[in-house]
């Protein structure tokens, strides 16, 4: 297994952020002044509403963040006289702000817009309410600044579970992924998987813009999964939930048989449950991957086959009748459907 080093964006440009808000999120965003926004950086995902800074308290002003002016800030500026308004807005102009976004259909008074233009600060406006705009922008920036790692493997959605197939080059990851797709499951990425850590330890996987849903099958060449199997055979991203570690069979190595001790594999400090699958001639790895996914679902719903078997064994040793059902699916048959 060969993992590339982690990477994380240190900044994006204001122009890129504005384009993504319009195109990817659908925010109606207008630019209010003629300032070059292609060279101004946004360096963090947190946002700021500069109410205290307008009032003159700038000691803890987080000026490096995108500044959002909503109804409160605009009404405060409008209730001031022209000179006091220029002075209040001047408190912001002391700093090198990335940009200013006016929400709720508000717009800066002409003198203040001119102040921003003279200081090279882009000003935008949107009809979206402040809370809605901040939620959308924060989500966009969190995604842009999230830690990422490129992982060598194949990511497949099997019964709704993201299985990351890993192993040495040539061991057959792409072939197993292709077989899973042929059986009705969905390919997310092959060979190069971009893992992104989001909040709450969630690890999302996707492919690259270049490779997308092409697969390289040794001896066959490139296969376009989307063109061959249709749109239902692919996904553009999926949460990575289980690592399937494909290994060549080693007779001197002890492999897990009861799975009482769970192995994990760390990616971006997220511990993922891992199943080591030894590769031997005749072994149906595709079916094993399906069972891994279904077993993960069972455990998610509170049924652990190893624990149930152990309890049955203990009951037999004590001379008692096992109290657990033979099929754990009976616990939550309705939920699973």
Residue 173 a catalytic site member: yes
pLDDT at position 291:
93
Maximum Cα–Cα distance across the chain: 91
What domains are defined for the chain? Answer: 9-144 (3.40.1390.20), 147-300 (3.40.50.300), 306-336 (no CATH)
> pLDDT tens-digit profile of 258-315?
555 578 899 999 999 999 899 888 889 999 999 999 999 988 888 877 778 878 888 8
245 is catalytic: no
Other CB atoms within 10 Å distance of the CB of residue 135: 13
The predicted-structure confidence for 9-49, as pLDDT tens digits, reads as follows 788 999 999 999 999 999 999 999 999 999 899 999 999 99
**CA dist 120 → 28, 86, 98, 301 (Å):** 22, 17, 9, 56
**Which one has a higher pLDDT value, 309 or 195?**
195
Taking the C-alpha atoms of residue 108 and residue 69, their distance in angstroms, rounded to an integer, is 9
Residue 152 designated active-site = yes
Give me the pLDDT at residue 1, please.
Answer: 37
- Comparison of pLDDT for 286 and 331, the residue scoring more: 286
Q: Which residue has the tokens 């996987």?
A: 205
- Please tell me which residue in 173, 186, 197, 213 is annotated as part of the active site: 173
Contact between 98 and 65 under an 8 Å Cβ cutoff? The reply is yes
Select which of 79, 209, 252, 257 is catalytic.
257
Catalytic residue among 31, 32, 152, 259: 152
What local confidence, expressed as pLDDT, does residue 300 receive?
A: 86
Catalytic residue chosen out of the listed positions 191, 235, 238, 265: 191
pLDDT confidence of residue 337: 43
Is 168 assigned a catalytic role? no
- Separation between Cα atoms, residue 187 and residue 233, nearest integer Å: 6
Predicted local confidence at residue 331, as pLDDT = 47
């Amino acid at each position: 297994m060969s993992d590339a080093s982690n990477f994380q964006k240190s900044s994006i440009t204001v122009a890129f952020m504005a384009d993504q808000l319009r195109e990817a999120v659908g925010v109606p965003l207008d630019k209010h002044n003629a300032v070059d926004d292609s060279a101004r950086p946004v360096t963090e995902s947190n946002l700021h509403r500069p109410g205290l800074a307008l009032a003159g308290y700038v000691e803890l002003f987080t000026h490096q963040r995108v500044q959002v002016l909503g109804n409160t800030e605009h009404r405060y500026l409008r209730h001031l006289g022209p000179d006091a308004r220029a002075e209040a807005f001047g408190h912001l102009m002391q700093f090198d702000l990335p940009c200013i976004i006016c929400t709720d259909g508000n717009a800066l008074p002409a003198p203040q817009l001119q102040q921003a233009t003279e200081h090279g600060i882009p000003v935008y406006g949107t009809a979206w309410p402040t809370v809605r705009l901040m939620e959308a922008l924060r989500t966009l920036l969190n995604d842009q600044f999230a830690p990422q790692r490129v992982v060598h493997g194949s990511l497949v959605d099997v019964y709704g579970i993201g299985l990351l197939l890993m192993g040495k080059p040539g061991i057959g990851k792409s072939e197993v992924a292709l077989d899973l797709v042929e059986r009705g499951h969905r390919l997310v990425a092959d060979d190069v998987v971009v893992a992104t850590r989001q909040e709450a330890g969630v690890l999302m996987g996707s492919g690259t813009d270049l490779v997308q849903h092409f697969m390289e099958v040794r001896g066959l060449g490139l296969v376009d999964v989307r063109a061959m199997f249709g749109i239902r055979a692919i996904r553009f991203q999926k949460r990575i939930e289980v690592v399937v570690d494909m290994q060549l069979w080693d007779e001197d190595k002890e492999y897990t048989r009861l799975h009482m001790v769970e192995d994990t594999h760390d990616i971006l400090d997220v511990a993922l449950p891992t199943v080591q699958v030894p590769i031997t001639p005749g072994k149906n790895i595709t079916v094993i991957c399906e069972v891994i996914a279904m077993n993960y679902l069972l455990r998610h719903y509170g049924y652990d086959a190893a624990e149930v078997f152990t309890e049955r064994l203990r009951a037999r040793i004590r001379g008692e009748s096992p109290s657990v059902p033979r099929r754990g699916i009976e616990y939550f048959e309705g939920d699973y459907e």
